[in-house]
Amino acid sequence: MTLRETADVLASQSYPLTADELADRIGDHELSHPDGSESLESVIERTGESRFEDAQDATFAVYSALDAGAVGRVGYSDRDPTPMGTDGPGQVSF
């Protein structure tokens, strides 16, 4: 499932929940990303949290626990606007 679908699954739960309860309920979902996939249970375990008060807490914790492979090229974005008062990055040809 995608990150958006992950947020939807997290939002569908009734909180507060312990990390173990959340992992038991939705841990078998597979989170797909550019470098493969992993179980939501393993991501929840990496959050280091013991309890989630609401869906927003759980979503932020899960997003924070994703490894670099889940976000594609680290530090790359061609969608960010150039800040006012700067010339922006130079053109790069691939």
Q: For the chain, give every domain's residue range.
A: 3-70
pTM attached to this predicted model: 0.72
Element (H, E) at 43: helix 40-46
Query: What confidence tens digit (pLDDT) does each residue in 54-85 have?
Result: 999 999 999 999 887 776 666 666 666 666 66
Alpha-carbon span 47 to 28, nearest angstrom: 16
DSSP letter (8 states) at residue 74: T
The two structure tokens encoding residue 42? 């393993």
